[in-house]
Amino acid sequence: MSTRHLLDPDLLPMLEVMPAIELSDEQLPISRAAFDEMVILGDPDEAGATREEIHVPGHNGGPEVRCLVYKPQEQKAEAPGFVHIHGGGYVLGKPEMADDMNLRVSGSLGAVVVSVDYRLAPEHPIPAPLDDCYAVLAWIHSNADELGIDKSRIAIGGESAGGGLAAALALKARDESEYPICFQMLVYPMLDDRTGTAEQPGDPLVGEFVWTRESNQFGWNAQLGDGPRVAPQVPARADTLKGLPPTWIMTAGLDLFRDENIDYARRLMADGVTTELRVYPAACHGFQLMREAPVSKRYAKDYFDALRRGLRVE
């Protein structure tokens, strides 16, 4: 059943640029190369920010973690910090994918952004990706004075698998009680390994475009390997969401993750977590790549407004 007629007409051109991702062991190197070719770096001067590549110590003696650090060109004292985690189904991508957005976040909100180049599955299944993200959270706290960051205003966030890792990072940080997080930004996060299975196939009206049930299962199976399917690696399987930081979570009306995202938001609210949920109608996974579409402009405004509030930027 085609759902093309339900998609916002302004988003139809993206289907020609970014068709559904088909993943397999043989296809993965090709898909990775295609993702790399799609990367377009932003202009630091235009955004009023700087970009620097660094490597931070790994978690518990693990390998160093490559990151991109973005700083305002005119940084104020006690700036907010933001740990960003890129998407790609746990098997694709790199921080350069979100370069333009992170430059704009740094320049317009005066934030120091650290974007994590975490290890990808299947070469590096759990706990490697989350360990890398936790290492960066630890590093930004430990080096807050040198970075000019206010430790009480460090937020985390990401898109798709990056949103899933951000949710996992929030759970791990809560349980470890070492590094406080003031806010989490979850952009159509990848939260539940059961989505797209026979057990949990979901609404047939979602998941046709860009990220499909088949790709979702490939990504989750690669990420989890032979490991246990439990939280924090699978955030949706957490017994409780109490004690998590205030959350902004968005999803799209035709996105495969729509229902798991709405359910996670509902559980957050039921567990007493201040939560804002946005559902963008007639939109699909990756829709914000069509930056001039009205729905994408609404998303960008909502994203910056929410992060501004979460980081307590005046």
Active site residues: 160, 255, 285
Q: Is 56 helix (H, G, I), strand (E, B) or coil?
A: strand
Q: DSSP letters of 104-172? A: HHHHHH--EEEEEEPPPTTTS-TTHHHHHHHHHHHHHHHTHHHHTEEEEEEEEEEETHHHHHHHHHHHH
User: φ, ψ for residue 285 (rounded to 5)?
Assistant: -60, 135
Bridging pattern class, strands 65-72 and 49-56 = antiparallel
Residue bearing tokens 């020609």:
16
Provide the 8-state DSSP code for 75.
P
HSE (side-chain half, CA atoms, 13 Å) at 110:
17
